[in-house]
Structure 1
Amino acid sequence: MGKRTPPPSRPPSYLLPLIGLADRSILTRLVVTGCVAATANLISLMSLSAELSGWMRGEVLDTPFLVFCLSLLVAYAFSKRFVALTLTTAFSALAGVRRRFLLHVTLGGHADILDLQAKRSFDLGNHHLERIAALLPNLSIAANMMLVAAVAYLYLWTLSTVGATLLLVAALMVGGWYVREAQRTRALLTDAKESELRMLQGFSELVGGNAEIKLGKARRDELSQAVEADVARWEELKRRHGRNLGELFSWIATIIIGFSAVFVFIFPRMGAMSVSELPLVTSVILFLARPLSKFLNAVPDYVAAEDAAAQLTALLGTMPALEYEPSRTARAPRRFSSIELRGVGFAYRAGLRPEPFVIGPVDLTIPAGSVVGIVGSNGSGKSTLLRVIPLLFRPDEGQVLLDGQPVETDRLEAYRDLFCAVFQDHHLFTRLPQGPGFDAELFREMLAYLKIDHLVPDTGDGLLNRDLSKGQRRRVALAVAVAEGRPVVILDEWTSDQDAEFRTRFTNEIIGKLRSLGRTVIFVSHDGDVSSVCDVTIRMINGRMDMPANKVASAAAMACLQETA
């Protein structure tokens, strides 16, 4: 039998490397800064104690007051520097994580991005980032308080070894109990969050299906009762959480004051401490109360931040690999002779579809200026082929060639720049493209041609009206695509949300309009026989291409182009 591979060891912290605080030089600066602030705080306390002792002896001392003022200023300056350095380092690191997201979204594989989008991974990643960012200010102050407590404790050790030892034992016992209770409280919060999510989903269904529930009492009552149950569950968990927090904070205050009483009432009677040491030791104990309370109260926040950092680190490990290095000089040629697919096959990865699906092999030549129509039943692979042609989906086998040359990784960015597309799930951006390749005059002309110009006024700032129906949004998207001036236009079931007029105009006029502008058109359609407007008509059947008779026409068109070239 082979040796068992041990599971990967969990790092001591996911949070510190993620927020940039695992760097030794930064940690050293933070520790030095925090210790200076803590020492200054302790000196201010000692000066107060000295002043108090002087008053008890009937003396008025000026030196403790001056030391107190100076140490207080130093403590303020270095505490401020500690928190500022912690937060600026951490927020810069989190901004770097966001930039990684941006890089992977823009340059990662399209199929992998769709997979992550289906799993809502980017939404979860941003949610975890926001959680960490919201917790950081409190955690940075708690870290400063921890150093203050550590320095004060070391000083207490020099005053009373027995007292310091007892305090350490008590702190460990209380800390262990507190962490256990904090984890239980956090579990309540997790359950409450799940109830809240179900409750919000229920509200969403009640709003989205409001017309349906008003027409059906049984359905309305069923959904209402489910939401009411989630509201009741959320209320109960939140109330238990509140009671637990109140109990935790009360116990902390009680234990700290009670421990101070041990020094005042018991140690002098035992002879473990002289009466002259009592004011200073008691002052140090009471001084420790604030940083210890702040530190313990931050434990649940740290646990939550570590959990978010662990999930965010795991998500970063699943980010799609970059397909290529972006280039500022690579630009697609605005003229080409042909695009060719040779033996191209593509299989969906697990997660993109509920069951395995493969298209290919596909052999196809698309001459420049031609019109290619793709037809077939639902789920036959039409839309998938539309994403393979511009290499949004990279083929698992075969080649895509531009003017006879394989499109390798170094040419991928320029090749994709040949295409503009209006997919079924197209996204209409809030602002028009601002680059020099965008023809604003042609855009307005296409809006008028598509009878949508009255709903998309020229605001002068490039902002688009997106408060439109699906069919209207598709018309605006087509006008934008044409105005971008790219030589190949991809349209995925563009007529599916159009009225009868535009379904008719699409084949009778719009295809011809695009051809007259010199564009190569590749479209998917369900609207009957489109072969009359196509140079090539492809029928997809279960992922395979059924080449029609007019493939000969495309070959003839290709030969004609080559003769005139």
Structure 2
Amino acid sequence: MGKRTSSSNRPPPSRPPSSLLPLIGLADRSILTRLVVTGCVAATANLISLMSLSAELSGWMRGEVLDTPFLIFCLSLLVSYAFAKRFVSLTLTTAFSALAEVRRRFLRHVTLGGHADILDLQAKRSFDLGNHHLERIAALLPNLSIAANMMLVAAVAYLYLWTLSTVGATLLLVAALLVGGWYVREAQRTRSLLSDAKESELRMLQGFSELVGGNAEVKLGKARRDELSQAVEADVARWEELKRRHGRNLGELFSWIATIIIGFSAVFVFIFPRMGAMSVSELPLVTSVILFLARPLSKFLNAVPDYVAAEDAAAQLTALLGTMPALEYAPSRTARAPRRFSSIELRGVSFAYRAGLRPEPFVIGPIDLTIPAGSVVGIVGSNGSGKSTLLRVIPLLFRPDEGQVLLDGQPVETDRLEAYRDLFCAVFQDHHLFTRLPQGPGFDAELFREMLAYLKIDHLVPDTGNGLLNRDLSKGQRRRVALAVAVAEGRPVVILDEWTSDQDAEFRTRFTNEIIGKLRALGRTVIFVSHDGDVSSVCDVIIRMTNGRMTNDRMTNTETIDGATDMPAATAASRPDMGSASAPAMACLQETA
């Protein structure tokens, strides 16, 4: 396997510049060109329809009824509709395709990325936040695409206004720049309020979650309940105040903008004709253009808060994606994993587990370990000694930072990784019992039902015929169902992590007296972690972990094989639950100094 650098060891990336367009696939020049051309055609047609209306109005004022403006109006309206629809459709299709690819990248990271990174609570929180940001952007995109189309309409209308009144267009530009600068400043203040409100909301939701999750403890202690309730109440009050200020700012902002637009229209109507800057005949058309500009400008300004929120979400999502390596699905060189093997060997393996708030990584190793097929290996030690970490290193869920893992003497490289992992089935402490049973050809449904009966859980897991499982079970019952599923998958190595921790006394006793023997009789290699007393009677080898190192490994056999000791035949014969299975090959351990 060689030395590798854990992805979790990389320093957190700096936050990249905010950019929504690259994230949603609209930074490509060809896409932008198509959008601009499509939008400009729609905007021009929209303006032509306005001009035809103005021409028709002028004809009426002269006592004439004109057919040409009406025909032009109808044609331009159809063109405007078709191209505006195409603009919005192209924008949303491109953007949602890009967001779908982000979701696929999340999926590839979960299925192909490092298991240690996925287990990290911070990583889980990042995935939740990433999906939240995706939902925010997706919800805002339709409004933003319409606003972008409206801005192109405003741009074309403004160019037309320039041909009608240079002075008016210049004044409008100056006013727009002044109002725009003020608006941007106010929008930044509004964004700051929104960010503070978001932080308060997150604290508030976390407080609610703790009150719900620890409801029993809260109800048993008034002082603690009051303390937590007051903290949540403070966050609620803070959130309420920030939202009120944010709402007041937005209301004031839009009121001023509406007043300015109407006031500027009044300048054209009341002042320009008196100054001689505009003829009376031009006044209806210019006024129509000014009022026409009000709609797209209003739509654009209304969309600015949405754009700010989408830009903020895009920046955070881009930063999150920067922590994920680019992974692609590739066909495995091995069609299916071998169901037989001779030995699994860990040679000089070390792994540093970095998670949560640990200031320093927890390191296990270096470890030298050989597990022949058919062995029963017990791993014991105090809490935090590295038992469960080692249990995840053996099947390469955690990739070693140093050393090698070998299958039948051959290093397990990346192209053999999936085939190697397919040798293992596991019931970890944090196991997940899936709703649906495996559907592949390797799953033995008959053996599954037999194991359910053997584990006395079949009455709670009826055979529905559609592969669905009843998951409304206690933790101990779920572990028993998970073990039955694991055995029925037919994989040669069974990993059990504190399987007895949620079992009653009967099954804790049966685990050492019967279940291990049952798995051995089925020809499985068993590797398990246990806290339940002396398990030496069922183990070929006991590995004792202390602070990440193998110490005081206890052999339960007497004959030496490759530096270890072999189980006497009498031991196997004294176990009727093993059936006719031959005595397993012994694991070979070399204690690291």
Alignment TM class, shorter chain as reference: over 0.9
Note closer, same or farther for the CA distance 1:272–1:101 as it changes in structure 2 (3 Å cut): same
Per-residue deviation, 1:235: 2.0
Following TM superposition, by how much is the alpha carbon of 1:54 offset from its aligned partner in structure 2, in angstroms?
0.8
Does the 8 Å CA contact 1:118/1:352 hold for their aligned counterparts? Answer: no
Counterpart Cα distance in 2 of 1:560 and 1:340: 9
CA contact (8 A) 2:370 2:589 kept: no
User: Structure 2 vs 1, CA of residues 462 and 354 (structure 1 numbering), >3 Å: closer, same or farther?
Assistant: farther
Instruction: For residue 197 of structure 1, report the CA deviation from its aligned partner.
Output: 2.2
Task: State whether residues 535 and 551 of structure 1, in contact with CA within 8 Å, keep that contact through their aligned partners in structure 2.
Answer: no
Q: Distance in 2 between matches of 1:390 and 1:380?
A: 19
Question: What stretches of structure 2 of length at least 5 have no aligned partner?
Answer: 6-10, 551-566, 574-581
Match of 2:569 in 1: 549
User: Tell me, what secondary structure is at the counterpart of 1:528?
Assistant: coil
Is contact 2:151–2:296 with CA below 8 Å preserved after alignment?
yes
Partner SS state of residue 60, structure 1: coil
Q: What is the aligned residue count?
A: 564
- CA drift of 1:350 comes to 6.3
Q: Deviations over 1:177-221 (max 9, x none)?
A: 112112222222222222222222222233233333333332222
| Change in CA separation of 1:557 and 1:3 when aligned onto 2, cut-off 3 Å | closer
CA distance in 1, matches of 2:60, 2:2: 78
Partners of 2:332 and 2:415 within 8 A in 1: no
Q: Which moved more, 1:31-40 or 1:232-241?
A: 232-241
**452-461 vs 50-59, which moves further:** 452-461
What's the CA shift string for 1:346-395, capped at 9, x where partnerless?
A: 12246584433211121111111111111111111111111111111111
**How far is the alpha carbon of 1:268 from its aligned partner?**
0.9
Counterpart Cα distance in 2 of 1:404 and 1:105: 30
Deviation for aligned residue 1:130? 0.9
Q: 1:564 aligns to what SS in structure 2? A: coil
Shift of 1:494: 0.5
Q: Is the 8 A contact 1:324 1:410 kept in 2?
A: no
Shift of 1:325: 3.5
In structure 2, C-alpha distance between the alignment counterparts of 1:279 and 1:189, rounded to whole Å = 42
C-alpha distance in 2 between matches for 1:560 and 1:206: 50
**Structure 2 SS opposite 1:438:** coil
Instruction: Assess if the C-alpha contact under 8 Å between 2:13 and 2:323 holds in 1.
Output: no
Distance 1:552 1:483 in 2: 25
Cα 1:477–1:417 shift into 2, 3 Å: same
Question: Are the equivalent residues in 2 in contact too, given 1:345–1:362 (CA < 8 A)?
Answer: yes
1:295 & 1:555 partners in 2: Cα distance? 78
Q: Aligned pair 1:38/2:39, yes or no?
A: no
Equivalent residue for 2:314? 309
Aligned to 1:93: 98
1:452-503 deviations in whole A, cap 9, x for unaligned? Answer: 1122122222222222111111111111111111000000111011111110
CA distance in 2, matches of 1:347, 1:3: 12
Once the two structures are TM-superposed, the CA of residue 117 in structure 1 deviates from its matched residue by 4.9
Measured after TM superposition, the shift of residue 514 of structure 1 is: 0.7
Shift of residue 2 of structure 1?
35
- Give, in whole Å, the separation in 2 of the partners of 1:3 and 1:424: 29
CA contact (8 A) 1:345 1:397 kept: yes
Structure 1 range deviating more: 431-440 or 280-289 = 431-440
Deviation at 1:542, TM superposition (A): 1.3
- C-alpha distance in 2, partners of 1:107/1:2? 19
Cα shift readout 1:278-315 (whole Å, capped 9, x = no counterpart): 11000000000000111111112112211211111111
1:116 deviates by 6.6
1:420-477 CA distance string (max 9 Å, x none)? 1111111111211111111111111111111111221222222222221111111111
Tell me by how many angstroms 1:556 deviates. 8.3
Q: Please say if residues 369 and 521 of structure 1, whose CA atoms lie closer than 8 Å, have aligned partners that are also in contact.
A: yes
Shift of 1:4: 30
In structure 2, the CA distance between the partners of 1:324 and 1:69, relative to structure 1 (3 Å rule), is closer
Residue 225 of structure 1, CA deviation:
2.4
1:484/1:91 CA distance change after superposition, 3 Å: same
Cα separation, partners in 2 of 1:550 and 1:154, compared to 1, 3 Å: farther
Match of 1:490 in 2: 495
Runs of 4+ in 1 over 6 A off after TM superposition: 1-12, 547-556, 559-565
Further displaced range: 441-450 or 241-250 = 241-250
Q: Distance in 2 between the 1:548 and 1:103 partners?
A: 48
Within the alignment, does 1:421 sit opposite 2:449 as a pair? no
Instruction: Provide closer, same or farther for how the CA distance between residues 380 and 299 of structure 1 changes in structure 2, counting only shifts above 3 A.
Output: same
Output one character per residue of 1:330-349: Cα deviation in whole Å (capped at 9) or x when no partner.
32110111111122111224
> What is the CA-CA distance between 1:10 and the residue it aligns to?
9.4
Alignment-derived partner of residue 330 in structure 2? 325
For residues 334 and 359 of structure 2, what CA distance do their matches in structure 1 show?
Answer: 40
Equivalent of 2:589 in 547, 561, 565? 561
Matched position secondary structure for 1:400: strand
Please report how far the alpha carbon of residue 326 of structure 1 lies from its aligned counterpart in structure 2 after TM superposition: 4.2
Q: Aligned partners of 1:401, 1:292: CA distance in 2, in Å?
A: 67
Residue pair 2:375, 2:584 contacting (<8 A) in 1 also: no
Residues 377 and 543 in structure 2, CA contact (< 8 A), matched pair in contact too = yes
Q: Which moved more, 1:219-228 or 1:57-66?
A: 219-228
Deviation string 1:161-182 (CA, Å, 9 cap, x unpaired) is 1111110111111111112112
Per the alignment, do residues 350 and 505 of structure 1 end up closer, same or farther by CA in structure 2, a change over 3 Å counting? closer
8 Å Cα contact 2:52/2:70 also seen in 1: yes
Task: Report deviation, 1:322.
Answer: 4.4
- Measured after TM superposition, the shift of residue 251 of structure 1 is 1.3
Match for residue 3 of structure 1? 3
d(CA) in 2 for partners of 1:416 and 1:3? 20
Query: Does the CA-based 8 Å contact 1:334-1:486 persist in structure 2?
Result: yes
TM-score normalised per structure 2: 0.89
For 1:564 and 1:527, the matched residues in 2 are separated by 26
Query: Which has the higher mean CA deviation after the structures are superposed, 299-308 or 253-262?
Result: 299-308
* C-alpha contact (below 8 Å) 2:46/2:80 kept by paired residues: yes
Helix, strand or coil at the partner of 2:384: coil
Change beyond 3 A, Cα 1:30–1:67: same
Q: For residues 398 and 105 of structure 1, do their structure 2 counterparts lie closer, same or farther at Cα, with a shift above 3 Å needed?
A: same
Deviation of 1:513 (Å): 0.8
Per-residue deviation, residues 74-103 of structure 1 (Å, max 9, x unmatched): 111111111011001100010011111111
The answer to whether the Cα contact below 8 Å between 1:112 and 1:320 also exists between their aligned partners in 2 is no
- Given that 2:20 and 2:311 are in contact with CA atoms closer than 8 Å, whether structure 1 keeps it comes out as yes
User: Could you list the runs of 5+ residues in structure 1 that have no partner in the other structure?
Assistant: none
Contact in 1 for aligned 2:121/2:355 (Cα 8 Å)? no
Contact 2:369–2:588 (Cα < 8 Å) also in 1: no
CA contact (8 A) 1:324 1:409 kept: no
Partner SS for 1:443: helix
2:342 to 337, 343, 347: 337
What displacement does 1:552 show?
15
Matched residue of 2:471: which SS? coil
TM-score normalized by structure 1?
0.93
Q: Secondary structure at the match of 1:298?
A: helix
Contact 1:332 1:415 in 2 (8 A): yes
Q: Is the 8 A contact 1:456 1:465 kept in 2?
A: yes
Q: 1:204 to 1:112 in 2, by over 3 A?
A: closer
CA contact (8 A) 2:393 2:400 kept: yes
Q: CA 1:151–1:454 in 2, change beyond 3 Å: closer, same or farther? A: same
Measure, in 1, the Cα distance between the counterparts of 2:53 and 2:228. 65
Moved more, 106-115 or 96-105: 106-115
| Mapped partners of 2:360, 2:207: distance in 1 | 29
Does the Cα contact within 8 Å between 1:116 and 1:122 map onto a contact in 2?
A: no
**Secondary structure of residue in 1 paired with 2:585:** helix
**Conservation of the 8 A alpha-carbon contact between 2:2 and 2:402:** no
Q: Is this contact kept in 2: 1:195–1:231, CA < 8 A?
A: yes
The answer on 1:82 being equivalent to 2:102 is no
Partner in structure 2 of residue 462 of structure 1 = 467
Tell me: CA distance 1:352–1:256, structure 2 relative to 1, closer, same or farther (3 Å): same
The answer as to whether partners of 2:447 and 2:488 remain within 8 angstroms in 1 is yes
- Does structure 2 retain, via aligned residues, the 8 Å contact 1:337–1:561? no
